[in-house]
Structure 1
């Protein structure tokens, strides 16, 4: 697990950080779980996002957890499940007016044995939750306009579960699970699909991006992605 700091955000004195929690593909059965402590995640103030790749081996007979952060069933910011049987995305969070709100059943039913890129973005500032599949917007939960000033997302200090939490987990494979402390834009969600981070050592990484040129040096990495240059400094926390 390696944390990253957004360079342009750092220069604006904003603490934009993200971490890749799971890199290589892992197989999960419905009783399997991986747990990450709250203190190992980037500090969240009022926004967060999670992205991942998922391939199902079978459809769940009950609500199946993909990820869930919280200390109990209805402490769930963020939370993402597969609906029972149909396997659509059920994106949830807890608010100060309701402990269980969000997108009920986003997108089409997942095909088995096929990889999908999934993104969950949440912002208390913008008062919205969005869900994406393969870079396409498939679900949205807007806060009530008449109560927009009083409604607040309830973030928590609980652990983050991948797979089984307070319901069964998914049956399949998962990879490239990333946790961000800001709400990804549509463009950032789509770029995330094409970026793979490979940790080589404590001071160097390789980043692979489709249709991109990667130059690896001992102290920095320069990446050309769709004519945009991204530079990474290899320090204790790799800057982005």
Structure 2
């Protein structure tokens, strides 16, 4: 069986680091999935996502997305993926529409198609009446929604999300999740990281919990809960597998 994403024996060690940030990870992900990569601070999840999205190179190992190898098809891979980082990837002194026109142009969409996609997306995300306001005037939830639009204008086959609902109000969170579910129904595979475990439990079709660069468990949320004695939810599973030690990180 050929999976949409196939990861085999992936490693990453940064220069001068003592340990591997990603240590022999192998995963398969289906086309229609919303796959959660969950772990404490410093677990390796951001490094894993960064390799899959082409931002950094693996130390060793390989992966394919939609049959495309990261070794041979880097440009084609970038064309089929969308990336929505935790930090806002927007120019604050530009309007929402100007931002989206700029980022959309990077995907090679025709002017007509891009304009249509922008108008539809602004309407869906409740931002139409603010389209010509500068982004630095937006609330956190508005910026987060605009950030999501910027990464999905080209209807990517795979979408990488890093904390897509962090710091937003309940209404913005619902709008974001509903839009992501709709994208998934239309054929976008979603790879998702978050510290919101209750959200992940409801949102994800399958989950891998990683720590110290290794996968400690994977399966559907209910499968994971069923594997841990007395676990009532995904948070119980997470604590059981990764421990109660604080993972504060000083950069």
Which has more helix, going by share of residues?
A: 2
State the TM-score, normalized to the length of structure 2.
0.29
State the TM-score, normalized to the length of structure 1.
0.30
Which has more strand, going by share of residues?
A: 1
Structure with max Cα Rg: 2
